[in-house]
């Protein structure tokens, strides 16, 4: 029997905690009601290393890889990272505002960082993700829904179209919706279009 993960001041017990300095307070009285899904790999297409953690904690060496120079001085974070093997790392309390969405809008609401939780999936935009990642994502989303007033799960591509494309066409929205058993209205329209299941 698996114990249900619990929350303490916005930190999830099902995750490894690795606090990021790249965060701040949410606007007073703001209700957290959306999750934004992203994909990330550093360097692109490489998995399992410390580079994502280093990026989110401002310790990434820009000289470590030619791609990293473009990231020099960048201060970003997400609340969670789900690695390829399903391990979950949390960088920011969900009570706080992580810096994951950037310039963004959803259904007339600007600045999605203010009211969303950001979840990064270790992967390359446009390619697929592992079954272990989907299983942990489902567990995490269900736990978030129990704790917060979750109304929507969207991708970065939906809140910043033309600027961002992640998690991309390799992400199985329809299968995620089906496994969660949540109403279509909680997802972008693509989640109602049947594709292969994970």
Q: Read off the pLDDT of residues 120-134 as tens digits, 9 standing for 90 and up.
A: 999 999 899 999 999
**Residue 1 domain flag:** no
The percent of residues in the chain predicted with pLDDT above 70, rounded, is 95
Q: Residue 85 contacts by C-beta under 8 Å, 6 or more apart in sequence?
A: 130, 132
**Placement of tokens 């390359």 in the chain:** 124
The Cα 21–Cα 59 span in angstroms is 11
Catalytic residue among 95, 120, 157, 189: 120
The total of structural domains in the chain comes to: 1
User: How many of the other CB atoms lie within 10 Å of CB of 93?
Assistant: 18
φ and ψ at residue 27, rounded to 5 degrees: -55, 145
With vertex at residue 20, the alpha carbon angle to CA 37 and CA 59, rounded to the nearest 5 degrees, is 105
Average pLDDT of the residues in 36-46: 97
Task: Give the model's pLDDT for residue 82.
Answer: 98
**Residue 112 domain flag:** yes
Instruction: Read off the pLDDT band of 50 (50, 70, 90).
Output: very high
Contact 90, 5 (CB under 8 A): no
Q: Residue 49 contacts by C-beta under 8 Å, 6 or more apart in sequence?
A: 42
Annotated catalytic residue 120: yes
**Residue 193 domain flag:** no
Q: Residue 133: give its domain's CATH number.
A: 3.40.80.10
Task: Give the model's pLDDT for residue 166.
Answer: 97
**Residue 2 domain flag:** no
Structural domain harbouring 135: 7-20+27-181
Is residue 57 over pLDDT 80? Answer: yes
φ and ψ at residue 29, rounded to 5 degrees: 80, 5
**Residue 143 domain flag:** yes
């Amino acid at each position: 029997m698996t114990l249900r993960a619990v929350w303490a001041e916005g930190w999830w017990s099902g995750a490894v905690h690795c606090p990021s300095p790249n965060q701040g307070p949410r606007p007073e009285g703001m209700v957290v009601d959306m999750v934004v899904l992203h994909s990330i790999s550093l360097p692109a297409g490489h998995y399992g290393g410390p580079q994502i953690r280093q990026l989110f904690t401002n310790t990434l060496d820009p000289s470590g890889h030619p791609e990293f120079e473009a990231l020099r001085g960048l201060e970003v974070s997400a609340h969670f990272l789900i690695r390829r093997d399903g391990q979950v790392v949390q960088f920011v309390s969900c009570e706080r505002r992580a810096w994951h969405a950037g310039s963004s809008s959803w259904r007339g609401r600007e600045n999605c960082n203010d009211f969303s939780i950001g979840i990064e999936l270790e992967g390359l935009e446009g390619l697929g993700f592992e079954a272990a990642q989907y299983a942990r994502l489902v567990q995490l989303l269900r736990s978030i829904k129990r704790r917060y007033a979750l109304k929507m799960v969207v991708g970065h591509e939906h809140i910043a179209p033309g600027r961002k494309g992640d998690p991309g066409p390799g992400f199985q929205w329809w299968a995620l919706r089906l496994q969660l058993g949540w109403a279509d209205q909680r997802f972008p329209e693509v989640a109602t279009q049947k594709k292969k299941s994970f």
